[in-house]
Structure 1
Amino acid sequence: MAVEINRIITIANQKGGVGKTTTAINLATALAAIGERVLIVDLDPQGNASTGLGIDRRDRKLSSYDVLIGTHSVGEAAVDTAVPNLAIVPSTMDLLGFEMEISQHADRVFRLRKALSSESAQQYSYILLDCPPSFNLLTMNAMAAAHSVLVPLQCEFFALEGLSQLLETISQVRHTVNPTLDIQGIVLTMFDARNNLAQQVVSDVREHLGEKVYATLIPRNVRVSEAPSYGKPAILYDLKCAGSQAYLQLASEVIQRERQRKAA
């Protein structure tokens, strides 16, 4: 029996190296671990989310490219992972040609929205869209398809500057292609409690964005960094490490916000 999609969440930041894919993998794993049916759609040609979940490139017979160009459904392209309740539509380098291939099509921004409205996508309660580190047609498709955007933000000097650019982009998308797009939340990543600058960034972001910022801080953590090389989420690689515990807390916050949203 199909379940209602609770949320399609785009995980986006035009800056690379902020923990976007790490957040996608581990948040999805944490949601799956507490019984949610979760799908990741890997929209980054680098395919790091796919690799980080142990999907070998030779096993990616179908990918998000096939879904976007409309030759195959989400159900056909989705691959089960080693995590119960978690599947992924993997990425391949074919995505590099997507923008050029459909740039003249009138529905070029809405390809993913159409794909996620199909029956095969309805079995998931959360769909997380992992975007490339740039604002291109792939990211635009993700934002056009999503209910909300979750923004991983690294605790560093230029964080607020990059965030203001991203918030402006979200505002533009809301005014052009997706009027209901909301900010799911800002998650602060790579936090080092020993670093005074990191503490200042946390304070500044909370001052500017208030309740939009999750209480959970994702710490810098060696075990989280090691996990992708073993094709595992950190939560499977080392459940007890600080990073894994933080992502479990983040999942709890995400679900709590969803309950509050539905009750409002």
Structure 2
Amino acid sequence: MAKKTKDDTPIGPTGRPYQGFPIPAPLKAHGPARIIALCNQKGGVGKTTTSINLAAAFAEYGRKVLAVDFDPQGALSAGLGIPTHEIPTVYDLLLDTKRDVHEAIVHTHVEGLDLIPANIDLSAAEVHLVNEVARETILSRVLRQVAGEYDVILIDCQPSLGLLTVNALTAAHGVLIPLECEFFALRGVALLIETIDKVRDRLNPSITLDGLLATMYDARTLHSREVLERVVEAFGDDVLETVIGRTVKFPDASVSGVPITEFAPEHPAAQAYLRLARELVARGAVA
């Protein structure tokens, strides 16, 4: 049975009282977009799953969303059912900054959600960009062309702290860190925060930490509960109240090429991502 405060408010997994985040009010106009990089140098922590489902949740609340696949594995594109062969990708935009960004934007089957896809070609980008002037700002210059058309742009970063990730952090207004509730995932967060601080100091003074998102949480295991407790102790209110549980529905939805909010809309995982979208709006991370 869930713990409660004296006034009968349920206590959430983070040890804080659950707040009821309101459904966001409709927007009268779209743009300019707030750019959020989903970043963690450790793989398998839920970055792509969160990018797909958070983007779909924002779209469900009437926001115009652009998802940017910035991982050579192209998992975000695949998870939205977009084939990436023989079409312009983010790689083409990085290497040819005179190219019209709209050539690479794909409309997904989710209303209000567009995608800039990626494929394995992106793995060569760091080699090609290393001698470019202001190489850390190339993605920023690309996204600037379309920022006025969207309310939020989500960048799904690759699991590394290389030049591509630095580009994403330089372009972003905020960073969302998905963090698996597992000990080894916790160890790398300090290094990531240090990288964000360096980018803030040298390249992007306005970047903020929008929050740490606990993912793959299993309340039945002591390990999950202890890791989440330590994260809250270390980062306090930077840890989002919404927690994403572990479920087989995520890979099932990915295979189907649709967000979980569409694949199983009543499932607790789908409701969690809708709640996450409401929380980020309530925190002011998105309009």
What band does the TM-score fall into relative to the shorter chain?
over 0.9
SS in 2 for 1:57: coil
From 104, 128, 131, the equivalent of 1:77 is 104
Shifted more, 1-10 versus 20-29: the winner is 1-10
Question: Is 1:32 aligned to 2:59, yes or no?
Answer: yes
* Partners of 1:28 and 1:86 within 8 A in 2: yes
From 223, 241, 245, the equivalent of 1:215 is 241
User: d(CA) in 2 for partners of 1:158 and 1:17?
Assistant: 11
SS in 1 for 2:81: coil
Higher Cα radius of gyration: 2
- Structure 1 moving runs of 4+ over 2 Å: 1-6, 71-74
What is the aligned partner in structure 1 of residue 9 from structure 2? none
SS in 2 for 1:205: helix
Question: Is 1:140 aligned to 2:140, yes or no?
Answer: no
Unaligned 5+ segments in structure 2 are 1-27
* Partners of 1:74 and 1:121 within 8 A in 2: no
- Deviation of 1:75 after TM superposition, in Å, equals 1.8
Alignment of structure 1 residues 88-103 onto 2, 5 Å: 88-103=115-130
User: d(CA) in 2 for partners of 1:55 and 1:171?
Assistant: 34
User: d(CA) in 2 for partners of 1:74 and 1:130?
Assistant: 17
Shifted more, 66-75 versus 205-214: the winner is 66-75
Question: Is 1:154 aligned to 2:180, yes or no?
Answer: yes
User: d(CA) in 1 for partners of 2:175 and 2:209?
Assistant: 5
* Partners of 1:41 and 1:127 within 8 A in 2: yes
Q: TM-score, normalised by structure 2?
A: 0.87
Between structures 1 and 2, the one with greater helix share: 1
Report the number of matched residues: 259
User: d(CA) in 2 for partners of 1:20 and 1:78?
Assistant: 21
What is the aligned partner in structure 2 of residue 108 from structure 1? 135
User: d(CA) in 2 for partners of 1:238 and 1:99?
Assistant: 38
Amino acid in the other structure paired with 2:102: G
User: d(CA) in 2 for partners of 1:170 and 1:154?
Assistant: 19
Question: Is 1:224 aligned to 2:250, yes or no?
Answer: yes
Q: TM-score, normalised by structure 1?
A: 0.94
Shifted more, 154-163 versus 123-132: the winner is 154-163
Aligned identity (percent) is 44
Amino acid in the other structure paired with 1:146: A
